[in-house]
Structure 1
Amino acid sequence: MRASTSRKARTVPCAVLLVSIAALCGPLAVAAGPQTTAADEAPFLAENDAAMSKMMNGMSARPSGDVDRDFVAMMVPHHQGAIDMAQAELRFGHNEALRRIAQEIVVEQQQEIVAMRRALGQPLPPAAPAPDQQRPASVPPVHSQPLSQPGMQMPMPNPMQKEP
């Protein structure tokens, strides 16, 4: 007979992994390029912390007795957390390579959420503009062109267009 594990016991490895990644990325971020002041980074850190908290809370869904539904119930907040963190990078980040990766994360994770919900016959999330389409005044705009998929549009850099 298989021993059941508590929800908390299953989320601990995820939390340990996230802390480990943060610890490994810290030195890389220092060596990677220009540094911002703590005040400049505060909005990003606050938004990222809120995304992490929301994700961790969402992943602690109460078991339903249906493994497939429980899997989706935990994975959707996990994927949404990745989307929320990527959108914070899009709003506050300056490295164009990382911003492009963040854009890809948003699209891919949205597609995964849709695929999981479809597999269970659940309603799909409503189509809405991405919150990263509004940028703070301190961050220069990115010239973009929309994706061709309706409901999954997000800003995409146009390498052919020069900034003014």
Structure 2
Amino acid sequence: MRSFRRRLRRPSVVLAALAAIVGTSVPTFAAGPAGTSAEEAAFLSENDTAMTKMMDGMSIKPTGDIDRDFVAMMVPHHQGAIDMAQAELRYGHNEQLRRIAQEIVVEQQQEIVAMRLALGQTLPAPAPVPDQPTAASAPVPAHSMSPNNMHMNMQKEP
């Protein structure tokens, strides 16, 4: 049953199932429609990977602690948004959407930090986003990552 639910989370599987029920063909964009450029195929592949990782990460075993369970499900959800926004930054061309994607990365990172701090969890060491040069990131002490000054410690927009 879990395997079936996992497959239903993939857009291509859902669309194929819908096509079988309705009896019509529905394009599956995860595989790439005819005429898809290499850039579009790479973007779609990254998005499919991000969505699968997010949905798998959100499937948790309840602990009995509602707050911990909430954070355990929301962190992969927010990370999925970050991963999808980074794919837009890598492949997108619309400057307005790229700006929105940059904001998504920063805001979702801040919310992940805030949720972990609310539970008293330790923060992972800061890491550059895949498109950010390694030399540009400086270590950020965990004590400086309070909700009031997180915006100052997050990555700088280009």
The reply to whether TM is greater than 0.5 is yes
Write the deviation string for residues 123-154 of structure 1: whole angstroms up to 9, x where unpaired.
113211111226xxxxxxxxxxxxx823x214
Which one of 153, 156, 161 corresponds to residue 155 of structure 2? Answer: 153
Q: Say yes or no: does 1:132 pair with 2:134.
A: no
Which runs of no fewer than 5 residues in structure 2 stay unpaired? 15-34, 134-150
Matched to 2:152, the amino acid is Q
Q: Say yes or no: does 1:116 pair with 2:115.
A: yes
Within 2, Cα distance between the matches of 1:149 and 1:15?
37
Length-normalised TM-score, structure 2: 0.65
Q: Following superposition, which runs of at least 4 residues in structure 1 exceed 4 angstroms of deviation? A: none
Give the fraction of aligned pairs with identical amino acids, expressed as a percent.
Answer: 73
Q: Equivalent residue for 1:101? A: 100
**What is the aligned length?**
119
Which runs of no fewer than 5 residues in structure 1 stay unpaired? 1-6, 20-35, 135-147, 157-164
Within 2, Cα distance between the matches of 1:68 and 1:43?
36
Q: Equivalent residue for 2:39? A: 40
Q: Residue 62 of structure 2 aligns to a residue in which SS?
A: coil
Write the deviation string for residues 44-98 of structure 1: whole angstroms up to 9, x where unpaired.
1111110000000000011011000000000000000000000000011111000
Q: Equivalent residue for 2:50? A: 51
